[in-house]
Amino acid sequence: MPSHEQKVAVVQAYIDAFAKGDPAAVAALFAPGASVEDPVGTGAHVGHDAILAFYTESMKTGAKLKLEGPVRTAGDYAAFAFSVSLAFKDTARIDVIDTFRFNEDGKVVEMRAYFGPNNMQGM
């Protein structure tokens, strides 16, 4: 199982990839058959191509992520709270919590994002 530090490094790489607007760098954090459900309740994007397409689309908003508190790790998982700002609407803020499940190689096999309309301000 990846260590706390390895999981935190993947979370940081995820945030850094948004900062750079690099969807391929995000997709590279995931195992080939991984699933991404963002937000939870909308159905999963499964596999590298679907995940890359999803993040390519997401990053068109200019979304930047800021950690809000420490990354929590437990078992195969990391969970982290963050806020999102959007390039096209500087008053906007979205509050999100993500969970990542990792495989033995430190790749993300399942990502779930928790947020809804009530977590969006200034849109």
Contact residues toward a second copy (CB under 8 A) are 4, 39-42, 68-70, 72-81, 95-97, 99, 113-119
Find the radius of gyration of the CA atoms of the chain. Answer: 14
Residue whose tokens read 């990502």? 111
Residue whose tokens read 């930047």? 64
Q: Of 14, 49, 76, 98, which residue is the catalytic one?
A: 14
Three-state DSSP at 72 gives strand
CA 86 to chain centre: 15
State in angstroms the smallest separation of the CB of 120 from a second copy: 11
Do residues 100 and 110 lie in contact, with contact meaning Cβ atoms separated by under 8 Å?
yes
Nearer residue to a second copy within complex by CB, 28 or 86? 86
Measured CA to CA, the distance from residue 11 to residue 79 in angstroms comes to: 9
State in angstroms the smallest separation of the CB of 55 from a second copy: 18
Would you call 38 a catalytic residue per the annotation?
yes
Measured CA to CA, the distance from residue 120 to residue 123 in angstroms comes to: 7
State in angstroms the smallest separation of the CB of 100 from a second copy: 10
Q: Of 38, 49, 95, 114, which residue is the catalytic one?
A: 38
Nearer residue to a second copy within complex by CB, 18 or 112? 112
Nearer residue to a second copy within complex by CB, 48 or 103? 103
Catalytic machinery residues: 14, 38
